[in-house]
């Protein structure tokens, strides 16, 4: 059975309901949580978050209220962009803190750590030994995150902090960066020193895509099985076409290959054993690049 840790914990990953559901839900609650209806439906996933000071009822402070308003505006802008460019119904609620889901025994997918205390939690509660950050500098600056304080805390705790930036909401950038990101993830898992925490900003696109590509390329499964396994635990909408494109790039790099865009929609959702071996060798060769 899954557990939910933290004070008054809810996931900061939300799904926008249809308009008719939204109208009816307003009478019940100001929140629409993306949580399974039954504990048995949650599998082995773990969702963690921390509430902000304003959510704890300290919003009377004018300074905190102004900060909260700016944070709300950033969230609205971000979620609007995500819906427009990714065409999925999910939302990110930064004010509810870091949230994550345990995908396998050694792999966690989640949102950005916001402060050094989040790193403390990952180390103490989840035995995280590696953090793989997929954000660009501008993503981190947008949310006002002090990345250097997080990296410093990682060093103090013996956590290896790695960066493989990809542009947010950009499937072409994701496709190009997936091989290097998976190379870092596969190396960290193979070291066996603890769990690997993979995150982007919201943990809804880039991070789950990297985890799915890893399972597809290195765990002997096909793309749809890996995709369903992750999204059944964490509600998110990673770009499947970007993963197929990266698979194509790794498996078929001869100059006479048929353009990926001309292939059927299901192309490279499965690969032959020799293709998987080729992909694994090429991904491993990217370590340290």
Provide mean pLDDT across the span 227-231.
98
What does pTM read for this prediction? 0.79
pLDDT at 2: 36
- The token duo for 39 is 């504990």
Instruction: Give the pLDDT score at 83.
Output: 81
Rama region for 282: left / alpha / beta (φ>0; ψ in -120 to 50; rest): alpha
User: Quick check: 183 and 287 in contact, CB under 8 A?
Assistant: yes
Q: Are 132 and 184 in contact (CB under 8 A)?
A: yes
Model pLDDT for residues 110-169, shown as the tens digit of each residue: 999 999 999 999 999 999 999 999 999 999 999 999 999 999 999 999 999 999 999 999
Q: 3-class secondary structure for 148-204?
A: HHHHHHHHHHCCEEEECCCCCCCHHHHHHHHHHHHHHHHHHHHHCCCEEEEECCCCC
Cβ(49)–Cβ(6) under 8 Å? yes
Indicate the helix (H) or strand (E) that contains 284. Answer: helix 273-284
90-92 and 13-15 as β-strands: parallel, antiparallel, unpaired?
antiparallel
Residue 53 has pLDDT above 60, yes or no: no
Give the rounded distance of the alpha carbon of 206 from its chain centre: 6
- Residues 167-185 have a mean pLDDT of 98
Nearest residue to 175 (alpha-carbon basis) of 186, 167, 163, 183: 167
Task: Pick the catalytic residue from 49, 154, 200, 236.
Answer: 200
Is 9 catalytic? The answer is no
pLDDT(65) > 60: no
Q: What is the pLDDT of residues 69-107, one digit of tens each?
A: 777 888 989 988 888 777 677 899 999 999 999 999 999
Region 266-271: what's the mean pLDDT? Answer: 97
Tokens of 15: 């799904």
Mean per-residue pLDDT, 58-79: 67
* Statement: residue 35 has pLDDT above 70: no
Look up residue 190 and give its two tokens: 């193979």
Instruction: Report pLDDT for 48.
Output: 59
What's the topology of domain 4-284?
Answer: 3.90.190
Q: What is the mean pLDDT of the chain?
A: 83
Query: Tokens 């914990």 correspond to what residue?
Result: 9
Instruction: Give the distance from CA 145 to its chain's centroid.
Output: 17
Q: 240 to each of 77, 94, 134, how far by Cα in Å?
A: 24, 25, 17
- pLDDT tens per residue across span 189-211: 999 999 999 999 999 999 999 99
Count of CB atoms situated within 10 Å of the CB of 241: 14
Whether the per-residue pLDDT at 10 is higher than 70: the answer is: no
Torsion of CA 214, 216, 217, 221, to 10 degrees: 130
Q: What is the dihedral of CA 106, 163, 181, 258, to 10 degrees?
A: 160
Domain residue ranges in the chain: 4-284
How many helices (DSSP H) and strands (DSSP E) are in the chain? 10, 9
């Amino acid at each position: 059975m899954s557990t939910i840790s933290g004070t008054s914990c809810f996931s900061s990953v939300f799904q926008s309901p249809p308009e008719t559901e939204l109208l009816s839900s307003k009478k019940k609650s100001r929140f629409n949580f993306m949580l399974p209806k039954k504990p048995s439906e949650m599998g082995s996933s773990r969702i963690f978050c921390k509430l902000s000071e304003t959510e704890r009822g300290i919003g009377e402070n004018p300074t905190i209220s102004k900060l909260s308003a700016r944070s709300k505006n950033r969230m609205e802008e971000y979620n609007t962009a995500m819906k427009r460019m990714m065409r999925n119904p999910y939302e990110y609620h930064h004010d509810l803190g870091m949230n994550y889901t345990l995908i396998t025994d050694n792999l966690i997918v989640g949102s950005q750590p916001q402060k050094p205390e989040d790193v403390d939690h990952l180390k103490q509660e989840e035995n995280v030994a590696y953090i793989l950050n997929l954000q660009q500098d501008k993503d981190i600056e947008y949310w006002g995150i002090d990345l250097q304080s997080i990296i410093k805390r990682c060093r103090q705790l013996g956590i290896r902090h790695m960066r493989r930036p990809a542009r947010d909401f950009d499937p072409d950038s994701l496709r190009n960066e997936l091989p290097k990101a998976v190379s870092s993830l596969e190396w960290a898992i193979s070291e066996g020193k603890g769990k690997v925490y993979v995150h982007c900003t919201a943990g809804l696109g880039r991070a789950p895509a990297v985890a799915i590509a890893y399972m597809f390329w290195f765990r002997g499964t096909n793309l749809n099985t890996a995709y369903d396994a992750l999204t059944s635990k964490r509600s998110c909408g990673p770009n499947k076409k970007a993963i197929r494109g990266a698979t194509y790039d790794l498996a078929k790099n001869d100059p006479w290959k048929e353009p990926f865009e001309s292939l059927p929609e299901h192309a490279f959702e499965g690969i032959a054993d020799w293709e998987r071996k080729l992909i694994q060798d090429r991904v491993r060769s990217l370590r340290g690049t």
